[in-house]
Amino acid sequence: MSTDTASTIRNVLQRECPGVHVTSVRPLDKGYTSKQWVAATDEGRLLVKVPQRDLDPEHLRRLVAGARVAAEHGIPVVRYRRLVPHEPAVNGPLLIQEYQEGEAAGDVWDSLDGDQRMVLLQDLGDIIGRLHAIVGPHFGDVLGGARASSLRESVEAEVAALLPQAELGRIGDPDTLRSAIGAAVARLENSANVPAFTHGDLWLPNFLVRNGRISCVLDFEHATYAERFRDFGKLDEHIFDAFPAGRDVFLKSYDAACPLPDDWERRVDLGHLLHALNMHVYFLRWSPQWAPQYAQQAKKWLASNS
């Protein structure tokens, strides 16, 4: 890191956190969508995060609001010190938070034996179950913006926003897809259609591990009140597709924290479809080479549900 960059981060910290004495600043080679620096201070280490993709400060406001909801229900999360909506020195928003000790679960996973993985997955089931046990006031944004009065309305609005951005030639007829999704929602037991607090980005890099146990949940910028099993799309893709032996341990722990409804497998199936559509549109924007695989997943779902 250049001296100029270090000075910039130091100056921002001293301005935004008056009274904090900064002794050093170093870059942190972590994160996929932001640049990060760790500052040693007389109040402990602080992390400065500067987004590189989504520069809308609402993205960070959602992260802070989501973490606050989780913390209020006993979930171990990061404490945030300051959100700067626009910092001229970095030409975008900036977030100052406490630095959490630990290693990303994604960094240690390959080095773990089977028993150690099972311990992590037991922790994961408990934590995600406790997250999903938080019932929201509505379907929609944790910031209180876009809201829906029902699960059907929520899913229809989401799909309506995604399809114009998708390569439908790779997926199928949009009217047939809308009809199949509507039928999938209609098959769900209405009493279980409650707006749960969902993380929106559940994969191993977003969990910190200390002494072999999950110690902190990170990155709530995609948090929303939604059908809880939509979170299983990314979990299954990034964890259980490669390690199916751990799914039962995870589910048992999850069920103890947030009981599985009778139709949970149908809900997971719908969650997989919504995950595929979201990832297809996301990667079309940021990494187009990955978009076709998610279109294929959506196409396969449609073939099985129409």
pLDDT tens digits, 120-138:
999 999 999 999 999 999 9
- So what's the pLDDT on residue 5? 84
Res 30: pLDDT: 73
HSE, side-chain direction, 13 A CA sphere, residue 133: 18
Separation between Cα atoms, residue 240 and residue 220, nearest integer Å: 22
Q: What is the DSSP letter of 238?
A: I
If residue 186 lies in a helix (H) or strand (E), which one and from where to where?
Answer: helix 174-186
pLDDT at 177: 98
Q: Cα 164 from chain centroid?
A: 23
36 plus 185 within the same structural domain: no
For residue 71, count other CB atoms closer than 10 A to its CB.
16
Q: Are residues 29 and 133 in the same domain?
A: no
Task: Verify that 151 and 222 share a domain, yes or no.
Answer: yes
The pLDDT of residue 4 is: 63
Contacts of 74 (CB under 8 A, 6+ apart): 130
Per residue in 232-271, pLDDT (tens digit) is 999 999 999 999 999 999 999 999 999 999 999 999 999 9
**Shared domain check, 242 and 288:** yes
Residues 6+ away with beta carbon under 8 Å from 202:
128, 231, 234, 235
Final residue before a domain boundary, out of 70, 98, 126: 98
Does residue 83 sit in the same domain as residue 116?
no
Q: What is the DSSP letter of 112?
A: -
pTM here is 0.94
Instruction: List the CATH number of the domain containing 295.
Output: 3.90.1200.10
Q: What's the structural domain count of the chain?
A: 2
Ranking 32-41, 152-161, 165-174 by mean pLDDT, the lowest is 32-41
Same domain, 252 and 163: yes
Which pLDDT score, from 0 to 100, does residue 306 have?
87
Q: Within this chain, do residues 207 and 136 fall inside the same structural domain, yes or no? A: yes
Question: Which domain does 257 fall in, by range?
Answer: 103-304
Rounded mean pLDDT of 277-304? 97
Strand duo 34-41 + 46-51: pairing: antiparallel
Residues near 272 by beta carbon (within 8 Å), at least 6 away in sequence: 232, 233, 236, 297, 301
Query: Confidence class of residue 18 from pLDDT cuts 50, 70 and 90?
Result: very high
Same domain, 82 and 207: no
Distance of alpha carbon 16 from alpha carbon 250, whole angstroms: 41
State percent of the chain over pLDDT 70.
Answer: 98
Residue 2 banded pLDDT, cuts 50, 70, 90: very low
In order of 120, 244, 254, 256, the CA distances from 117 in angstroms are: 5, 12, 16, 19
* Residue that terminates a domain, selected from 78, 98, 118: 98
- Per-residue pLDDT, 32: 72
Least confident of 3-17, 134-148, 195-209: 3-17
How much of the chain, in percent, has pLDDT values that exceed 90? Answer: 92
Q: In this model, does residue 205 exceed pLDDT 80?
A: yes
For 36-93, write each residue's pLDDT tens digit: 999 999 999 999 999 988 899 999 999 999 999 999 999 999 999 999 999 999 999 9
Per-residue pLDDT at 3: 45
The size of the chain, in residues, is 306
Quick one: 260 and 207 in the same domain? yes
Same domain? For 107 and 92 the reply is: no
Nearest to 226, CA basis, from 154, 161, 126, 133: 154
CA distances from 65 to 28, 79, 142, 197, 215 (A): 24, 11, 7, 12, 20
Query: Are both 268 and 130 inside the same structural domain?
Result: yes
The CATH number of whichever domain residue 13 belongs to comes to: 3.30.200.20
pLDDT of residue 1: 38
Domain-ending residue, one of 57, 81, 98? 98
Q: Which residues contact 245 (CB under 8 A, 6 or more apart)?
A: 114
Is 35 in the same domain as 107? no
